[in-house]
Structure 1
Amino acid sequence: MSPPPSPPQQRIGLPWPELNDGLEYKDIVSSSESELMTVSEFYFTKYKSSAPLLGWIQRIQNGQIQIDGEVVKDPNTVLRSGSKLVYHRLPWKEPDTPYSLDILYEDDDLIALNKPSGLQVLPGGLFQQRTLLTQLHWWFGKKDSSTGARELHPVPVHRLGRGTSGILLCAKTKLAKTKLAAYFAEGTSLVGSGNLDQDCGTGRKLTKIYRALADGIIEEDEVVIQQPIGVVRYPGVAKGLYVASPEGKPAFSKLAVLARDRQNNCTLVKVDIQSGRPHQIRIHLAYIGHPLVGDPLYVAGGQPKCFDTDLVDDAAAFAEDGGYRRPNQPVPGDCGYHLHAHQVELLNLLNINKVVKIVAPLPTILQTSSEAQEKSLPPAS
């Protein structure tokens, strides 16, 4: 096995500006969309997850919509086929978010970053600029301008929840993106076919090991969880909330107990996931009755802590900019739990006989006592 290069760890990240740049949404009206459709109907139909109808009317009356270069303030303006629409979302202050990242590994095809808890990976909701993707593009833009190299646009090939820390793999080339995406899909497809790697052995091209702190005492030393994960409608989550569901898609997690803290009623575990369903570890541990310590969303059974179905269609509540208000219930991006993508092993993208092992340093709370003691020892002379 070939270890990653070991130069001093490099930290990247620029402080966030007070306000982001706002957003522009550009559309061209098709012939089917122009059949007596008003501008308010167009936006509400196409961007339902952004704002309720009353919110879109407010945005139009506020002068944030242009049709063919002209500001339109009448929500009942009828659209014509071929018209060019632009919606200007005004700049806003995004929630406080960490911005520093450590580079754990880098070669010509791949860069692995240590994502801090609290940093969202991709734009969405309130987080449009304060994302890992923005910092990644800022960093490579700065490197390219200083060296005169061709401009690179590395992209994450998987996601970590906003509250999850640890290794995030990003592809620097199209070939790397294709291969890494295939590696991630392979494990999930094997689970779906029933061809499970019960021992989580070396046959896979990609293995992912997490650390987590679970509520309660898990008495078994090893637990295999194969609970399917599906989607239910949930306020504030446009595409639905992932939960434990018998009608869901297959998922496979194998956990091993590392330490039991009976005084604080919690268990430190490592988890190998062969599939990659959203929020899989949080849902699977909650499903067996041991949700992550501090998880504001999932409780025993793998279901949300608070779920008022009467609020799913509450379109009357919208924020100052016309968009939906943040729901009172917890949402998946809320932080507070302890989950860390600790270790990744993958076949090198250019040489299939080489294995790259990437390790993200553990937060103190996810270390065993022996690991913490070893970390505190002075270096050997």
Structure 2
Amino acid sequence: MMSPSPPQQRIGLPWPEHNDGLEYKDVVSSSESELTTVSDFYFTKYKSSAPLLGWIQRIQNGQIQIDGEVVKDPKTVLRSGSKLVYHRLPWKEPDTPYSLEILYEDDDLIALNKPSGLQVLPGGLFQQRTLLTQLQWWFGKKDFSTGSPESHPVPVHRLGRGTSGILLCAKTKLAKTKLAAYFAEGTSLVGSGNLDQDCGTGRKLSKIYRALADGIVEEDEVVIQQPIGVVRYPGVAKGLYVASPEGKPAFSKVVVLERDREKSCTLVKVEIQSGRPHQIRIHLAYIGHPLIGDPLYVAGGQPKCFDTDLVADDAAFAEDGGYRRPNQPVPGDCGYYLHAHQVDLLNLLNTHQVVKIVAPLPPILQTSSEAEEKGLSSSKLS
């Protein structure tokens, strides 16, 4: 098994105070142009971005162009083929860590240690303060220093914003295709009865996490196969992932590492076969042991605030015209303890070798013996 010593290199540039804003481009189709005003067009097509009054505010603010000309009248009638541009104004994104440790790198792959609080891809309030931006800055800097274009890595999977640990990024198109196939194969095995294979005996990718669960998990080992589906939820445009009998199959194997009965928490190791969004958070909550500090999921694998009929107040929109952040917790909220600790995968070029990548554990996710070896406190919660 290959397990090269990490290069001990960190990358990351401090974030600018404000991002660069965004541009969203559209071309009006013949069906969309029929008796459609510019305000109706944006409200109908982008309801999740802003209420009608918010879009009217943006238009009157001069943020919309039609065929290169700024329009400020929300009742402007559109024509088929017109080119629209919405300029989202620059804003200060929430405080976000930016420093990343390189855990492993070869010609095809780079593995980074993502800190909790850093979003992987742009979305919502985080458009520039993302792991992808740091990757682009780092490899753009390398290209400039060498005078020749190099690879431009992209993440091939995601970790929740509050989750730390190993994030795999492909440096070539072939590597991206192969890694995507590795992840897809793992998910496809769920329900096939072939879940006990590891990288050495058939599976091409193995992912092991550490987590701190609420309460005492009495069983030494628990296999969870609860399906995960999507429900309507305020502030999450595409819906919230929850435990659902109508959802897609998911598989998690939980192994207890240490129980702290005084503080009523359990340190666990979790191997996931599938890769459903928020799977570990949902699965541990489903068996009655949500992650310590999880602001969203509670016992049963459901959200704390579950009112699917709740809608945004059209009169309550933010300064830029968009919806205000909902009062209910959302998936990107941090506070829980979950770490992608180890990944074993077949070498992308030499499939007879297995690459083992390990991300150092945060002190709170170490066992007492691991902490003692490093001279750290063994207390899980202070």
How far apart are the structure 2 equivalents of 1:50 and 1:192? 38
Q: Is the 8 A contact 2:154 2:170 kept in 1?
A: yes
How far apart are the structure 1 equivalents of 2:307 and 2:239? 14
How far apart are the structure 2 equivalents of 1:218 and 1:210? 16
How far apart are the structure 2 equivalents of 1:283 and 1:201? 29
Judging changes above 3 Å, is the alpha-carbon distance between structure 1 residues 199 and 112 closer, same or farther for their aligned structure 2 residues? closer
Q: CA deviation at 1:153?
A: 2.0
What do the CA deviations read for 1:282-322 (whole angstroms, capped 9, x no partner)?
00000000000000000000000112334235444311111
Q: Is the 8 A contact 1:176 1:349 kept in 2?
A: yes
Q: CA deviation at 1:20?
A: 0.3
Q: CA deviation at 1:255?
A: 0.5
Judging changes above 3 Å, is the alpha-carbon distance between structure 1 residues 183 and 62 closer, same or farther for their aligned structure 2 residues? same
Q: Is the 8 A contact 2:227 2:246 kept in 1?
A: yes
Q: CA deviation at 1:49?
A: 1.6
Q: CA deviation at 1:94?
A: 0.3
Q: Is the 8 A contact 1:109 1:173 kept in 2?
A: yes
Q: Is the 8 A contact 1:197 1:274 kept in 2?
A: no
Judging changes above 3 Å, is the alpha-carbon distance between structure 1 residues 72 and 309 closer, same or farther for their aligned structure 2 residues? same
How far apart are the structure 2 equivalents of 1:224 and 1:203? 20
Structure 1: give runs of 5+ residues left out of the alignment: none
Q: Is the 8 A contact 2:199 2:205 kept in 1?
A: no
How far apart are the structure 1 equivalents of 2:196 and 2:39? 52
What do the CA deviations read for 1:234-279 (whole angstroms, capped 9, x no partner)?
0000000000001111000001000000111000000000000000
Judging changes above 3 Å, is the alpha-carbon distance between structure 1 residues 254 and 199 closer, same or farther for their aligned structure 2 residues? farther
Judging changes above 3 Å, is the alpha-carbon distance between structure 1 residues 176 and 8 closer, same or farther for their aligned structure 2 residues? closer
TM-score (norm 2): 0.95
Q: CA deviation at 1:372?
A: 1.1
- SS of the residue 1:376 aligns to: coil
How far apart are the structure 2 equivalents of 1:18 and 1:201? 47
> Which of 128-137 and 31-40 deviates more?
31-40
Q: Is the 8 A contact 1:233 1:312 kept in 2?
A: no
- SS of the residue 2:33 aligns to: coil
> Which of 83-92 and 183-192 deviates more?
183-192
Q: Is the 8 A contact 1:209 1:342 kept in 2?
A: yes
Q: Is the 8 A contact 2:341 2:359 kept in 1?
A: yes
- Corresponding residue for residue 324 of structure 2: 325
What do the CA deviations read for 1:162-183 (whole angstroms, capped 9, x no partner)?
0000000000100000000010
- Corresponding residue for residue 23 of structure 2: 24
What do the CA deviations read for 1:85-130 (whole angstroms, capped 9, x no partner)?
1100000000000000000000011000000000000000000000
Q: Is the 8 A contact 1:286 1:292 kept in 2?
A: yes
Q: Is the 8 A contact 2:109 2:175 kept in 1?
A: yes
How far apart are the structure 1 equivalents of 2:225 and 2:313? 35
- SS of the residue 2:295 aligns to: coil
- SS of the residue 2:190 aligns to: helix
- Corresponding residue for residue 83 of structure 1: 82
1:137 aligned onto 2:136 = yes
Q: Is the 8 A contact 2:199 2:344 kept in 1?
A: no
Q: CA deviation at 1:7?
A: 5.1
What do the CA deviations read for 1:181-224 (whole angstroms, capped 9, x no partner)?
01001111111555433889742100000000000000100000
> Which of 350-359 and 37-46 deviates more?
37-46
Instruction: Give the aligned length.
Output: 374
Structure 2: give runs of 5+ residues left out of the alignment: 377-381
Q: CA deviation at 1:47?
A: 1.6
- SS of the residue 1:192 aligns to: coil
Q: CA deviation at 1:8?
A: 3.9
Q: State the percentage of identical aligned residues.
A: 92
- SS of the residue 2:44 aligns to: helix
How far apart are the structure 2 equivalents of 1:309 and 1:346? 40
Q: Is the 8 A contact 1:111 1:171 kept in 2?
A: yes
How far apart are the structure 1 equivalents of 2:192 and 2:250? 11
TM-score (norm 1): 0.95
| Aligned alpha-carbon RMSD (Å) | 2.3
Judging changes above 3 Å, is the alpha-carbon distance between structure 1 residues 342 and 190 closer, same or farther for their aligned structure 2 residues? same
Q: Is the 8 A contact 2:118 2:129 kept in 1?
A: yes
What do the CA deviations read for 1:11-41 (whole angstroms, capped 9, x no partner)?
0000000000000011111222212211112
Q: Is the 8 A contact 1:223 1:254 kept in 2?
A: yes
How far apart are the structure 2 equivalents of 1:119 and 1:238? 20
> Which of 150-159 and 347-356 deviates more?
150-159
